[in-house]
Amino acid sequence: MNASEQKLFSTLCETICAAVEKARAEDMSLTDMYVQVKYDEQLFTVFDDADGVLAQATVEELDEWRSAHDSEEPHVALIAFLREVLNHDEVNKALHSLDFISPFSVVLVDANMEPVADLITLDDENIYLHDDFWEKMDKELDDFFDQLMADTK
């Protein structure tokens, strides 16, 4: 990670932790938390499940980060980056300290508050697998089948 990306990572971690602290201070029991990135305004916002703002930060590095990832599909790089932020030890610990109703999800939303991607799901009773797991499993099964069929010829 370069210095700009590291600062962006740090700012997003701090913003999410601040949102969790606000929710804990107000004794909220959340079912979901929404994050929104507005590149044109350089805003990163965290919402509660009633669309109330928990934390918001102006992040100047967003524009530079977006320019560096323009070649990728829209949202793909952002989703991967936000998942890294949410899996950071400090953020993960903060999320687990939150009073939530299972299953609790952190969801990326667009400007119209429409869901774009489920970033992380916390649930003590179930295990959730992300789509990349199934893609890898599908490839492994295809490779196994090809090898098995090659042995029968």
- Whether residue 135 is contained in a domain is answered as no
Question: Measured between alpha carbons, how far is 17 from 139 in angstroms, rounded to an integer?
Answer: 37
- Whether residue 114 is contained in a domain is answered as yes
Residue 13: the pLDDT is 93
Q: What percent of the chain has pLDDT over 70?
A: 90
- Whether residue 153 is contained in a domain is answered as no
- Whether residue 130 is contained in a domain is answered as no
Question: Measured between alpha carbons, how far is 58 from 41 in angstroms, rounded to an integer?
Answer: 8
pLDDT surpasses 80 at 21: yes
Residue 38: which domain range?
A: 3-125
- Whether residue 138 is contained in a domain is answered as no
- Whether residue 136 is contained in a domain is answered as no
Total number of domains constituting the chain? 1
Within 10 Å of residue 43's Cβ, how many Cβ atoms?
14
- Whether residue 39 is contained in a domain is answered as yes
| Global model pTM greater than 0.85 | no
